[in-house]
Amino acid sequence: MENTTQNRSVAVIGASGYSGIELVKILLNHPRIKLAHVIGSSTVGKRVDDIYPYFRGKTDLTMEPYQLETLKRTDIVFLALPHGEALKRVPELVDAGIRVIDFSGDFRFKSPEIYEKWYKLPHTAPNYLEKAVYGIPELFGEEIRTCQLLANPGCYPTGAILALAPLLANPQIGQRVVHESIAITSMSGTSGAGRKEKLELMFAEVNESIKAYKVGHHQHTPEIKATLERLAGRTLDVLFIPHLIPMTRGIYTTICLPLKEAVSWETIVNGYREFYRDARFVRIFEDMPPEVKFVVGTNYCDIGLAIDETQRFLIITSAIDNLVKGAAGQAVQSMNLMFGFPEEEGLL
């Protein structure tokens, strides 16, 4: 049983990226957490408030080099690193008995072959895949509470999976509504691509435009598919089409499902409300579609429901902040469960 009365010591590796610094912001305001270490590579020796002046007067933390011995004195380590980098750190952290929350895709699959196919990298730590728990608190909370290694979900998968979970996990509704093929369209702001300089993310390239990208081969597709199949208990064909839009943060997802048979509006709405009855950060919109501006800066996932006038299609929309519910906020929500804290601690 966790001791929930004392503050917990945590460290963030990769603290200078967009997701990492969002995590720092949340942790500094968490009433039961001491942010003991922020760790970087190219930023070592720089103060956090020099990299991000937002933090002036809020913290005097300085970016440190990675040192395993130092981290052994912390209760949990967050890895906000690019794909492939966590493979180098997770094994020794886990072997040292440290609890780890990884933001990358390195430990989201049970199969190293799937990872290698979609991420185009060799998986050098396959023995640790079975140790990892996929971290959507609304769906896998009990597993999260006791895990040592948590694979924080991708931002696109979070919005899509939460939008579909009540249908797929409830056979009485799902098998009457959901076909074996599901098409998902999502739109993301530019912060989802990280902080590195990229020509295609420059203001002049993105502004006043919208484009689909990685059509048919985005690395989040198998993550969405595997989780939905786990919920449904059957094989599904999943098509995922991401789009880049000219805003900084936020993800908006639209899913259109042909109804296999007539299902009343009340049955669908009540099914969603019952499924998320105890979910502190999921809000159901039955009277209007959600909007990204409702969730920016929050850990909420807003889900909208509608049936078209022909009564032949169910339309599901969802909105999240990709840096909070899609990354740092969801990670802290899982951390709260791991420490036995209230799920919403530090997130409201």
Q: What is the pLDDT of residue 168?
A: 92
pLDDT of 5 = 55
What pLDDT score was predicted for residue 195?
61
CATH architecture of 8-153+326-339: 3-Layer(aba) Sandwich (3.40)
Phi, psi of 238 (to 5 degrees): -120, 125
Q: Which of 265, 264, 298, 263 is nearest to 283 (CA)?
A: 298
Q: Please indicate whether residue 147 is annotated as part of the active site.
A: no
pLDDT computed for residue 192 by the predictor: 72
Helix 221-232 to helix 155-168 angle (10° resolution) is 20
Q: Could you tell me the pTM of the whole model?
A: 0.94
The reported pLDDT for the residue numbered 193 is 65
Per DSSP, 62 falls in state B
Mean pLDDT by 10 residues, the chain (348 residues): 70 94 97 96 93 95 96 97 95 97 98 96 97 98 98 98 94 75 94 68 80 94 96 93 94 92 87 96 96 98 92 93 98 98 96
Conformational region of residue 194, where left means phi above 0, alpha means psi within -120 to 50, and beta covers everything else: left
Distance (Å, rounded) from C-alpha 318 to C-alpha 289? 8
Class of the CATH-defined domain 156-322: alpha beta
- If one counts every other C-beta atom within 10 angstroms of the C-beta of residue 72, the result is 12
Angle at CA of residue 152, ends 175 and 98, nearest 5°: 135
Please, are residues 301 and 156 in contact by the beta-carbon 8 Å criterion?
Answer: no
Q: Which residues pair with 313 in a beta bridge?
A: 258
237-244 vs 211-212, strand pairing mode: antiparallel
Q: What is the pLDDT of residue 1?
A: 43
- In the chain, ranges of CATH 3.40.50.720 domains: 8-153+326-339
- CATH 3.30.360.10 in the chain is located at 156-322
Q: Give the per-residue pLDDT at 324.
A: 98
Supply 138's token pair. 């609304």
Q: Which residues contact 127 (CB under 8 A, 6 or more apart)?
A: none
User: How high is the pLDDT of residue 131?
Assistant: 96
Longest dimension (CA), the chain: 63
